[in-house]
Each structure stands twice: as C-alpha cells, then as structure tokens.
Structure 1
Amino acid sequence: MYFIGVDLGTSACKFLLMDERGEILNITSGSYDVEYPRPGWSQQNPEDWWRAVREGVPELLAGFDASQVAGIGCGGQMHGLVALDEKDQVIRPAILWNDGRTGEQVRFLNGEVGISRLLKLTGNIAYAGFTAPKLLWMRDEESELFSRIAHVLLPKDYLNHLLTGEYATDVSDASGMLLFDVERRTWSDEMLELCGLTPAQMPRVYESYEPIGTLLPEVADELGLPRGVVVAAGAGDNAAAAVGTGAVGAGTMNISLGTSGTVFIPTAEFASGVGDRIHSFCHADGAWHLMGCILSAASCNAWWVNDVLGTDDMAAEQAGIDGSSARADLPYFLPYLMGERTPLNDVNARGAFVGMSMSTTRSDLTRAVLEGVAFAVRDSVEIARSLGVDVTTSTVCGGGAKSRLWLQMLADVLGIELVLPTTEQGPGYGGAMLASVAAGAYPSVAACAGAIVGERERIEPKLELTAAYERRYQIWHGLYPALRDTFETMGARND
C-alpha cells in the first residue's frame, strides 16, 4: 500500500509518497504567493492551495502504480481563517497564522473576557494568530462578509473538504482556534457564542488518525487515484511534524525550524493552567502536548540572505562563520519580523540588530540572525523547564535543520542533544503516517512511529560554548524589554 502525505505550508504545498514500511518513494511541491496588504498583515488565496494539489498529486504519482494508494493525510499551517458561504465559495482571502491585524481583538479577549475565563474555556489565552481573534476582527471590520459565513475551516480542512465533501477538522488543529475546549476535545459553546458563531458553522471534530471519508469520485478521477482512497483528518503542521519525527508520547520532544519555529512537547495528560505561558493543545496521537511558537525562524534567515543580501546561496553566507566561539563583541538580533507569539504575545514587536560597531562584518550579522532565532527558541524551552519538564534531548526538523552550523548552535544554546530523524519531511511524513493509521495499516500512531521512524545522527552540545551562550542569552533577553515601548510607539504610527 501507498500513502500520500500533504504538507500545506505558507509558501508551498509539498507532497510525499510513502509505502507501508515508511520508505519515501517520491516528493514534489508547488509554490504560491503570500499577500502582505499592510505591515503585519498576511493572507493567502485558498484556491491556490487547491491548484497545487490538482497539479502536485498527479506529478507525485508519475511512474508509480496509483492503484496502490490507500490513504491521504494532510499536515497544514495552523490557525488560518477560511470562511465559506452557503455555496461553498471562499468569502475572503484566508487570514494566516502569522497575521498581526487582530491586536484590538486580542486585548478584548485577554482583558475584558479575561485570561482566567479563557483558560477555563479553552486551556489557552488569545494570541493575534489564533482564529477566534480573526473572526472577531472580521465581525468588527467586515461585517457584511462575516454575515455570509456558513462554514469556518482551517487551511488543511479546506483541502480535505474539496477532497471528500466533508466539513471536518482534527483535535490538534482545532486546539489553535481558541474556540475549542482542549481538555474535553470538543467545541466550546461559550466561545462560539462570544464570537457570534453557532455549532452548525463549525466542522465536525475527529482524532487526527481517524478517517473523515473517502475521495469524491470526480476528484479521484481528476487526481488519477482509485475511488475509495481514505482521507485522514490529518493534523496541524506542528503536530504532524511531531508524528513524523517520532515525538509521540510523553518523554519526547521536537523542535521545528520552519518558516516559524516551534518547541513541541507531548504530554500524557492535559496541562491545566499553563496556557498563558505556553500553548496547551491536543496531540495527533490521541493525547496532548505543550507548544511554544516563534513566528519567524527560518524565514528570518531567508529574509536576511534573499531579500537583504540579494543572494540565494545560504550555504556560502554561512561558510565563513566561526561556530567554535561565541564572542562577547558580536552583535545581537531580535527575530520578531512578524511580531512575536511565545512568550511575548506582542504584535508590535519587530526585528532589530543591536550592538554593531565599525568592526561588524557581513558574516557577523548572518551569525546574529541564526543565534537570535536559537535564543527565541530557548525562551519556549525555558518556560517548559519552569513547568518541570526535563529537557535533555529533542528531535529537530524543518528547512533550518539543513544547516549544520545552525544545528550545532542550537544544541549549544539549549545545552541539549539534538537528534536528526531519518527523513527531514516532518509534516508530510506525519501526514502519510496518519493516513496509514486511518487506512488500517497500523493500529495506532505510536505503533506506526515505533515501526518506521528512525534516526540518522545525534548532535551533542559543546558545554564550553553553552556557558558562553548563557552570558549572551542573558544580554539578548534584556533587549526586547528595553525596546518594547519603542515598538509600541512604532506600531501605533502604522495604524
């Protein structure tokens, strides 16, 4: 049997063909644009995602026996608001996970509704990227469009709807909407009412590994797939990546260096009362997890190298960097190019280089970008440690994990061992694994991960550098508080 994993990302949709032993047979991808209509705003046309599927799946299957495909599973960018009318037409461009337009709505939710109430209802507090603030923004700013909403979906759920005709989501993705009671794994009626919604507008909720249906006949024919292919509920990209790297069950952890950066820690039980410091969500394995998220990770490096330096050779930019030291005179970088989520929850936060001198070189600034992201990841790790989580090792995935310099720096900054899984295709691989469970090839997510996820290398921290990075981290950690008021003033002038 074959299984297709879909990684619905911010800049591209990637497709992976896997057999039941976990071997990756083929990978393809299709890109699309992101719209930035105003500073801090980020949106996308959902129809571009579907175009990528219609083009990408036949390309993926070229040269393979498509009749062997038994299931499809999607790992998708989280939090995005896809609003459909009663005719299933997209009402407006999807407001994405890294969009910061909802500052006023976040202040309303955390302030007037109250953090304690939000924690009781959903297990989490409001962040600008979450879906509920987006819906409130749409109600406040686009009332006519809001009144036309018949169905609220997340990005991957829009694809699943077009594949199956079903309105469905999974528990991991629903957790990031602030409309979902994470502990009880069901919609919060009170939060829906607060946002002007009814249960009828919300998709049916499944566990990530459960089938939501099979391909529509006309879709199967167009994609070149057999009728009867099972479509799994799938998962948010971070939960899917965790599955794909084997971060399943308590005692595991995964760090993703993708467009955003995440620290993902599976837990056996729901972590109550911590959602004001770190996300407390449902996991795709049937349990729960803690997650810290920084909005700009590998995207910082792409911005610096591609947009500022004007090159696409990231390896060359890193080649001259000395990773064997962490000198005190090196500059610092705040990676808040799209505002920040964990732990700042500040849509006005911005990127900044600090501490430059006449001796600062191009390589020093490139290094500062990598280090700043590593420090931001450490912020979430420190929150987990404060909650009693013993952080000693982690798998790592995402585009940033292709940089050996960055991986070693991350290991040194965190003072932990990093494990590189056999495959780097975290969300897509996890999606295919969920599809294999939905189709009956494996009895559980844990059984699937235990059977097919392997490791290819371990990176040990250099303890002498960990001590040097500790001193630099403490200085870096004081930069945002020193600039917070300035960022707020700048944000007010952009309104």
Structure 2
Amino acid sequence: MAPTNAPEPLFLGLDLSTQQVKAVVIREDSTIVHETSVHFDNDLPHYKTTNGTYHGPGEGEVTSPVEMWLEALDLLFDRLHKEGVSLSSVVAISGAGQQHGSVFWSAQAEGLLASLDAAKSLRGHLFPGAFSIQRSPIWQDHSTEEDCKVLEEAVGGSQALADLSGSRAYERFTGTQISKIKRLQPKVYASTARISLVSSFIASLFLGKFAPIEVSDASGMNLMDIISCKWDETLLNICGGPQLREKLGSEPVIGGTNLGTVSKWWVKRWGVNPECIVAPITGDNPATVMSLSAPGDAVLSLGTSTTFLLSIPPANTPPKRFTTSHLLAHPTTSHGQIAMLCYKNGALARENIRNKYANRDWAEFNKRVQGTPPGCSGYMALYFPLPEIIPPGIQGEYCFKLPSAESETPKQIEDIPPEVHCRAILESQFLSIRSRIAAILPPNAPHLHRLVISGGSSANPVIRQIAADIFGMDVYVSSTKEAAAMGGTLLAKYAWWKIRNPDGSFEDMTGGEPAGTTRVAKAHEEESKIYDELVSIYTQCEEQTIKSSASAA
C-alpha cells in the first residue's frame, strides 16, 4: 500500500551519462511529472572536464572524476527539491548508468556509506575516503589493448570469449579495465574493497550499502557467463585474480528485484519517502530498450553512429554469439537476451554521400532515393569513411555489379552510376544489419514485430520507409526524448508493481506496448521480398570487401 503521505505514487529514474546526470519523475500511468538535469561541464566547471571527461595522462586513458558525480547528484536533488517535486511521494527509484564505467571503493567505504550524515552532502561525507581510485575509467577509454590480448589468448581466442561472455574483448569493457589496474597499480587494487559499475554505484548511494551489479549491465564486463548470468570463475581469475569475486560482491541481479529502502540520509536531507524502495539500476542501452520497445521489437538509433538493439525472448537454443556484435542479458526477462550491433559509420557516411551526390541537400537526396528502384538497378556499394567496427577495421568505398544469375557472384567495379549512390548507402547500411539478425536469432524465432527508430535521421520520411521495407517491419518513433532515464523510471515502477504482482512480468505491467510510440512507415510487401533476396548477396559483397581490404593492406 502506498504511504498515506503519497496518495499519488511517483517513480524516479536517473541517467548518469558521460556529460550529465538526468532525473525523470513519472506517475503510475507513466506520464512524466518532472525532468531536470545537471550538465557536468556547464554546471560544475571547476572540475575542468571536457564533455564530462579527462583524457590522459596515459595514452588512450579516458576517465571521469567520482567527486564530480557525487556533487552532481547533490545538485540534482537540490534542484528537484527547489523545483517542487514531491520527493515524499516517490515510492521507487531506479535508473541507468553509462555502460562499462567502474568505481573502485576503499576499505572505509562500507562504513562511510552506512553512516551518511544528513548535515553533509554526499561529496562532503564520502570523498575522498570512500574511494581507492578518484578517477573512474569510462567507456571511452581505449588503453587496455595488452589486457584484451591476454584475456582472449587465455580463453582460446576472441570467438571463445564471445561464446562465453557475449562479446569479444573490448578495451572499454570493465574486465580488462580491472586487469590493467591490477597489473599497473597492484597496491591500489589490493586496497580496493568493492568494484561497482556506474549503475551499481548509484544504487549503493541510495541504499547506504554496496548494491549488487545488475545482470544486463554485467554483460558489458567480459566477466559473466552470458547464458547462466553468473560470474565466470575463469574470467574472474584472468582479469582480477582470486580476490575479484569478493570485490564484485554477489551474483548479478535481475531487474524488478527489491534491493531495500533508501537510507535514512535521503529521508532526513531531502524528505524522500522512508518506504521508497531501490531497484537495480541498469546500463543506458538496456534502459533504452525497456523504454522504447517490447519483446519482438527492435530499436535502431540513427545518430552519428548506428546502434541496433534487439530483444530476444527465451528459447531452447541460445542465440549465436559473434565477435562483431554483443549479446547482453535482458534486464527483466530471465534467460532473455538483447543483441546489440554498433557501427561507426552512420550519419557521417550518409552526409558524405548527400554532399557529393545531392548538392548537400536532404530534399535532393530523398528525391534521388525515390527515383532509384529497390536493389539500385543491380548495383550495390559499401561505404566506410572511418575504420569500421562491423566488419572490423574496413575503410574505403567498395562498389559492385550484382549477378544476373544465382550461380554468379557480385563483381567488384570502380564505381556505380552517380544517381544510385543515395539509395545505395541506405540499402547497404540496413542490409548489413539484416544479414546479422538472421544469424543471431535462434532457429524458429518468431518474426519481429516493430522497428522503433531514434536519432537525427529518424525524422527523414524517406529513410523511415527504406528501413520499413528492408527490415520488413512497420517503423515507429517514440515521443520519449530521454529514453535511458525513462527506462529507469519504468524499472523503478516495475519493482514497486512486482511487490503486488510477484508472478507478473514487465510486459504484464506495461500491457506489452511501450508508451508514446507512433507508426510512421508501413512495410511494402513487394519491396520487402526484393530485399529478402538481397541479404545473401550483400553478405557476398561484404566478404569480397574484406578480402580486398586485406590484400591492399
């Protein structure tokens, strides 16, 4: 039952991202009551960060000051209080944190968390004594190449690591970050009592004790068995030695778990409801999935980079793992997963083609796309102005004439007709994703329902329609602007709802439909059939591209 001083329960979700921390408050019907944020560079300029980060001193090192995060949370709640948010009505808190970032707690941290003094700010009480490392490694860090090589070699290669943990070794992933600190700063590592992700760091502050790591965010560490969702002893020992299990705490926990109520500090200092529960906080990408999609949906972010997120329901046969994609545990569905594909060449590549072949004008670009038939009159081109992630390391432009008979293969040519490029770049970018969906999904997986798109290019109606036709799904856009924070509020609401509905699922709570989505394009069946035939041809073109790139190196 909601407390008598909160006739209308509210739910709070935070998003601690690279550049800011945001708060979203919703009602039980999921309508937004309030939003506020603290921008690190603008609101806390004394830390002298650039986009919330420090670069160096070592090559490839990118960190953020933990002290800044603490002060930002103090300021965020000060703003919520001054802006009239009824914190006494908040019955559950969850959120999202930038993935892969890590916080290293000292031996004194547990006692300091348990004895938070309401007369002091979080920063004043916890910093610096609660931390063995004052600058947290974050997802932009790329200083752990040596540790990645050691990890992959120890388990039998990149594919073996992907099969076990869901991803090959990545420099930004937490396991290799821990390995580097143990290798270069052994005394600091030995003095570290607990290691949190950014997500569980936030939850620990609310609880006044160490919070467990959430299962989906744990997937971005190269430390968890992606199928059992338990810490893997071999990976732990490679990255952190026999001490690492204790430093990570209990096994990862699934969303909807009630971790306990907020510590008295939040009640006394900010008037938060003393019965407010704290739910596991997840990573920003999984939170976005929870906000924008339902099982059977996919999320396509068309920003500077391209990110594709696909919820995969539990199946007897687990999804295949690849060295070019990520498999994450689902935040709320036991034995469910999220497949994630990340491409570096997104908007930049599209803009390059627009500038070169459409007079730098999107209207002209759209006109040229619509003037070219599906399949580009038998041509295909792959565009990588920057070294790509998928396929790895490929750079340049590769053009092909498609075969006229099934027994033939695509023929690499110097260029394709100028008027074809605008459609060709959309087809190649989306066919790359299509070709990998089929490989990842388990056999007999149900057909995907909807494609929810976001990012700058999602406003282009022609791009929306091409996406609908290539993926064979109706395309939707969401009215939600702060998807990760909104996903966090829904996870808070889910933990509260689940106390009253212990056997219910997240989809039972939401009705299986994400709020605030609108259909903006309907797949054309005839065009989709054309693209179904082009998936395997795209794969052949990509294979030739990889060979051409290798021979030219």
Quick check: TM above 0.5? yes
Deviation of 1:427 after TM superposition, in Å, equals 2.3
Alignment match of 2:215 (pick from 140, 153, 171): 171
Aligned partner of residue 476 in structure 2, secondary structure: strand
* In structure 1, distance between residues paired with 2:480 and 2:191: 43
Summarize deviations over 1:91-114 as a string: whole Å, max 9, x none.
Answer: 153333354433333333333321
What do the CA deviations read for 1:106-165 (whole angstroms, capped 9, x no partner)?
333333321586467546543444322222233334445434432211111122222222
**1:202 deviation in Å?**
0.5
Name the residue aligned to 2:507: 446
Counterpart Cα distance in 2 of 1:318 and 1:110: 44
Instruction: Say which SS state the counterpart of residue 209 (structure 2) adopts.
Output: coil
Aligned letter for 1:448?
M
Instruction: Tell me the C-alpha RMSD between the 2 structures.
Output: 4.2
Q: Is the 8 A contact 1:335 1:369 kept in 2?
A: no
Aligned to 1:411: 468
User: How far has the Cα of 1:22 moved from its partner?
Assistant: 1.1
Using the size of structure 2 for normalisation, the TM-score is 0.71
- 1:71 deviation in Å? 1.3
Matched, 1:150 2:193: yes
**Maintained 8 Å contact 1:371/1:409:** yes
| Distance apart, 1:6 and its partner CA | 1.9
Q: Contact 1:395 / 1:421 at 8 angstroms: preserved in 2?
A: no
Distance 1:185 1:36 in 2: 33
Residue pairs, 1:30-109, within 5 angstroms: 30-32=38-40, 33=51, 34-37=53-56, 42-60=62-80, 62-86=83-107, 87-89=129-131, 91=133, 93-109=135-151
Q: Where does residue 179 of structure 2 map in the other structure?
A: 136
Are positions 1:198 and 2:251 aligned together? no
Distance verdict in 2 for CA 1:90–1:213, change over 3 Å: farther
Equivalent residues in 2 for 1:59-458, closer than 5 Å: 59-60=79-80, 62-86=83-107, 87-89=129-131, 91=133, 93-115=135-157, 118=161, 122=165, 125-167=168-210, 168-195=212-239, 196=241, 197-204=243-250, 205-223=252-270, 225-248=272-295, 251-257=296-302, 261-269=307-315, 271-272=317-318, 274-276=320-322, 278-296=325-343, 300-301=346-347, 318-322=362-366, 323-324=369-370, 325=372, 332-334=382-384, 340=389, 344=391, 346=392, 349=393, 352=396, 374-385=430-441, 387-400=443-456, 402-405=458-461, 406-421=463-478, 423-440=480-497, 443=501, 444=504, 445-450=506-511, 453-454=514-515, 455-458=517-520
The alpha-carbon deviation at position 184 of structure 1 amounts to 2.9
- 1:26 lines up with 2:76 in the alignment: no
Cα offsets for 1:358-377 (capped at 9, x unmatched): 9989xx79x88877754554
**1:8 counterpart = 2:16:** yes
* Residue 221 of structure 1: how far off its partner (Å): 4.8
* Aligned CA distance change for structure 1 residues 463 and 159 (closer, same or farther; 3 Å): same
Number of aligned pairs? 470
- Displacement of 1:18 in angstroms is 0.8
**CA–CA distance in structure 2, aligned partners of residues 76 and 8 of structure 1:** 5
| Residue segments in structure 2 that go unaligned for 5+ positions in a row | 1-8, 41-50, 108-128, 400-413
- What is the CA–CA distance in structure 1 between the aligned matches of 2:170 and 2:299, rounded to whole Å? 22
Structure 2 counterpart of 1:396, one-letter code = V
Deviations 1:451-482 (A, max 9, x none): 77343225223567664794895587357615
Q: Matched residues in 1 for 2:68 and 2:224: separation?
A: 28
Cα shift readout 1:48-89 (whole Å, capped 9, x = no counterpart): 444443333444562433321111111222222333333431
Rounded Cα–Cα distance in structure 2 between residues aligned with 1:217 and 1:399: 40
Q: 1:214 to 1:302 in 2, by over 3 A?
A: farther
Q: 1:231 to 1:184 in 2, by over 3 A?
A: same
Question: Percent of aligned pairs with the same residue?
Answer: 20
**1:321/1:124 Cα in 2 relative to 1: closer, same or farther (>3 Å)?**
closer
Q: Bigger relative contact order, structure 1 or 2, given CA contacts below 8 A and separation 6+?
A: 1
- 1:493 maps to what in 2? none
1:2 and 1:20 in contact (8 A); partners too = yes
For residues 177-200 of structure 1, the C-alpha deviation after alignment (integer angstroms, 9 at most, x for no partner) is 222233333222332222224322
Note the residue ranges of structure 1 that are not aligned, 5 or more in a row: 310-315, 490-495
2:130 aligned counterpart, secondary structure:
coil
Aligned-partner SS, 1:184: coil
Residue type of the alignment partner of 2:139: W
Describe the shift of the 1:215–1:392 C-alpha distance in structure 2 as closer, same or farther (beyond 3 A).
closer
Q: Which amino acid aligns with 1:202?
A: L
Give the C-alpha shift of residue 335 in structure 1.
7.1
Deviation of the 1:419 alpha carbon: 3.1
- Closer, same or farther: CA 390–199 of 1 in aligned 2, 3 Å: same
1:461 is aligned to 2:523: yes
- Deviation of 1:232 after TM superposition, in Å, equals 0.8
Cα deviation 1:300-319 (Å, max 9, x = unaligned): 538998xxx9xxxxxx9645
Aligned to 2:125: none
- Please state whether the residue corresponding to 1:293 is helix, strand or coil: strand
Task: Describe the shift of the 1:273–1:431 C-alpha distance in structure 2 as closer, same or farther (beyond 3 A).
Answer: closer
TM-score (norm 1): 0.78
